[in-house]
Amino acid sequence: MKSMCWWNVVVSAVFTLLGISFILLSRNFPVDLGTGDPGSGFWPSMLGMILIFLSVLLLIESFFSRHIREKKIDLSSHEHKIVYIVMGVSVLFCISTYLLGFIFSSFMFTYIFMSIYGITNRKEKILTALGIVVLLYVVFTLMLNTALPLPIFLR
Amino acid sequence: MYVIEAFVQVFQPMNIIGLVFGTGIGILIGALPGLSVNMGIALLFPLTFAYTGIGGILMLMGIYCGAIYGGSISAILLNTPGTPASAATTLDGYPLAIKQNQPGRALGLSTLGSLFGGVFSAITLMLISPLLAKVALKFSKPEFFALAIFGISIITSLSSGSVLKGLMGGILGLFLATIGIDAMSGEIRFTFGTIYLMGGISFIPILIGLFAFSQILLTIEESYGKPQQKKVVKIDRSFPSLKDIKKVLSTLIRSSFIGTFIGCVPGTGGDIASFISYDQAKKWSKHKEEFGNGALEGICAPEAGNNAVSGGAFIPMLTLGIPGDGATAIMLGALLVQGIQPGPLLFKEQMPTVYSLFLGLLIANIVMGIFGFSLIRLFVKVINVPKKYLLPLIFSLTFVGAYAYNNSLTDIFIMVGFGILGYFLNKFEFSMSAIIIGIILGKLAEANFRGSLIMSDGDMMVFIQHPICLTLLIVAVLSLISPLLSSAFKRMKNREKTV
């Protein structure tokens, strides 16, 4: 478990890098057109500078505030690990939806999610996954006429 | 004439069905602890794509009003507010419902308070908005820039965790808004050669990712491995007696005023309104000792206050295009998606739409009241819905929702990416609303900033020479620094106390 101060240093570093990226990316665009229009590069580079300034302020605040130094943030408990697994499964679901379509992927996702969440009854998991897929198909495809992603070989 | 057109628009069968459905679903979402108003609106946003015109917005209004009210159900029965706006309702709602064993009376009073506050604020919206829009019609580019800055400045008030992080999130949102074709020069910015980003980054997957997907991840973290307790509640009656109504009438009026006024102030919200209303009800009460033990005014005041915020928050949103809170920021996005640009011109060019929105809000509040009084026994059951079924359903809804708007698989990846980002940003006390407000107001701020400078040949004094612009900028600066000042004052006071 690390302190909020530690995490704020990480956040400051990441946002400083973001701010620098904004400025570097904006270099491809004019900052001043000389006609009164500041140019399309002015606004994003200004945002980059403000972001760097705010990141530095956050860093300073983190070292001077006792409240921030004392506050702890846990990102490594068992519950967090479950969340990270769900995140990974969600990314896999996106890839699976691209390849195999929504219906199959959603069924699999629900089944796997319930398993990760601690449900052991296989019948319950299959029925829930089936129920959710049917419900979404009826509501979105049949009632609202919204297309759901098809498998790559049917597209 | 406009009113008749609005009636025709709103009372189309599909629109009314959408509004009634939205209100019902909103109540259910609000009643479920862990699901917020913002999440509900973001999650069901995709359903509105089936509508053209005002129908989808009416559904969202129903969800908005219903969810604020729904929060009181779990607040009263479980002592767990469904939404932060209902936190104050627990103080007297739970003691009356459970300790004094009168759940029906407590729920009936909360319904009455919500209905009164909601209808009161909808009527105020109808009376005040056109007047404010008339003033706003005189705005030119510098005023619109100042207005956008004022809108962005409310981020500091929305960032309960850290003001600095709120501002950083806002800047991130402002930068995301620059992606795509530049409106002033036509140049293509930050697309990295992809056609997908040419039209700008899609707002909806980000919205669903930040508000819904990240929230589900947080709910998994909180609920994993914890058994859900089942609550059996017997409702005797759901309509308050005439004696009770007489007792709380003055509280209802006072709290509705407070809620509407607080709703008008961008950056505030239902949680602040409900606590101030509760506090005022206690101060004006002749029997203060009852508060905390099931006082009738203690239930009505926060509920009237938080529901009155709905109409109040619509005033700056519709007339100036400035969202009052996170929920209205999402509503603003929904209006833009439907091709409705909130702001003073809306009152000049699309009056039937404006009246439809007024009428929609009023009807949503009335439907909410009818549901509350008649179907409360049904809504009470929702508090026992097991999370093991609810979470996968919400997950699937976020995927469908992200895909539905553009039929784009890339949007699903973006939604998951922002959902994961949102989870960590939530842990580090960033405000999701700040990012959304940045995205929504980014284009308005940049275009009018550059437009103003073209108007004045690059002279920055243009922002000072226009009195309304100057006033708005001063208010924006005050709004930006006020949370910093108030926390500094608090620290000083604490130090004095310890000395």
DSSP of B365-412, one letter per residue?
HHHHHHHHHHSHHHHHHGGG--HHHHHHHHHHHHHHHHHHTTT-HHHH
Q: What is the pLDDT of residue A50?
A: 95
Distance to chain B for A140, nearest Cα, Å: 8
Here the tokens at position A123 are 């019948």
Show the tokens assigned to B127.
């009376």
* Residue among A79, A106, A113 whose CB faces B221 most closely: A79
Q: Which residues in chain A have Cβ-Cβ distances shorter than 8 Å to B222? A: 79
Residues of A in contact with B214 (CB under 8 A): none
> What is the residue-averaged pLDDT of chain A?
90
B399 and chain A in contact, CB less than 8 A: yes
Chain B residues whose beta carbon lies within 8 Å of the beta carbon of residue A120: none
The reported pLDDT for the residue numbered A59 is 93
Strands A72-73 and B188-189: unpaired
Q: Identify whether the C-beta of residue B308 lies closer than 8 Å to the C-beta of residue B255.
A: yes
Number of CB pairs, chain A paired with chain B, less than 8 A apart = 161
Model pLDDT, residue B53:
76
At B497 the pLDDT is 65
**Per-residue confidence (pLDDT) for residue B268, from 0 to 100:** 66
DSSP assignment, residue A101? Answer: -
Interface of A with B in 111-140 (CB under 8 A): 113-114, 117-119, 128-129, 132-133, 135-136, 140
Contacts of B164 (CB under 8 A, 6+ apart): A54, A57, A58, A61
Per-residue pLDDT of chain B (499 residues; tens, 9 = 90+): 778 888 888 899 989 999 999 999 898 888 877 677 888 888 888 777 777 778 888 999 999 899 888 888 888 887 777 777 788 888 899 888 888 888 888 999 999 999 999 999 999 998 888 888 887 777 888 988 988 888 888 787 767 678 889 999 999 999 999 999 888 888 899 988 888 888 888 888 898 899 889 988 998 998 888 776 676 777 777 788 899 999 999 999 999 999 998 888 776 677 778 888 998 888 888 888 888 888 999 999 999 999 998 888 888 888 888 887 778 888 888 888 778 888 888 888 888 888 999 999 999 999 999 998 888 887 777 777 788 888 898 889 889 888 887 888 999 999 999 999 999 999 998 988 889 889 888 888 998 899 898 888 888 888 888 888 899 899 888 888 877 777 677 767 777 766 6
What residues contact residue B211 under an 8 Å CB cut-off, 6+ apart? B36, B38, B39, B41, B42, B43, B326, B330, B422, B432, B436
Asked if A90 and B419 come within 8 Å (Cβ–Cβ), the reply is yes
Contact A37 B185 (CB under 8 A): yes
User: Is A90 close to B458, i.e. CB distance below 8 A?
Assistant: no
B390 touching chain A per CB within 8 A: no
Q: Nearest by CB to B225, from A4, A18, A118: name it.
A: A118
pLDDT at B456: 86
What pTM was computed for the model? 0.82
What does the pLDDT read at residue B346? 85
Sheet strands (E) in chain A: 2-3, 72-73
Question: In a mutagenesis test of the A interface, which of B152, B160, B178 is the best target, namely the one with the most A β-carbons within 10 Å?
Answer: B178
Q: First-to-last CA distance in chain B? A: 67
Contact B399 A132 (CB under 8 A): no
Asked if residues A5 and A63 have their Cβ atoms less than 8 Å apart, the reply is: yes
What is the pLDDT at residue B34?
67
For B348-384, letters b (16+ CB in 10 Å) and e give eebbbbbbbbbbbbbbbbbbbbebbbeebeebbebbe
The span from the CA of B410 to the CA of B418, in Å, is 12
- For residue range A2-17, what is the model confidence (pLDDT) as tens digits? 888 899 999 999 999 9
What residue of A is the nearest CA neighbor of B217?
A83
pLDDT of res. B150:
85
Question: Which residues sit opposite A72 in a β-bridge?
Answer: A3
Q: How far is B255 from chain A (nearest CA, A)?
A: 35
Alpha-carbon separation of residue B319 from B125, B153, B341, B347, B396 (angstroms)? 10, 18, 10, 8, 36
Nearest Cα neighbor of B204 from B405, B38, B35 is B405
Q: Which of B175, B192, B407, B415 to mutate to test the interface with A (most CBs of A within 10 A)?
A: B175
Nearest chain A residue to B453, by CA: A36
**What ipTM was predicted for this assembly?**
0.94
For A57, nearest residue in chain B (alpha carbons): B164
Q: Which residue of A has its CA nearest to B181?
A: A40
Q: Looking at residue B160, what is its pLDDT? A: 64
Minimal C-alpha gap between A45 and chain B (Å): 9
- How many angstroms away from the CA of A58 is the closest CA of chain B? 6
Segment A73-97 shows an average pLDDT of 93
State the Rg of chain B over Cα. 22
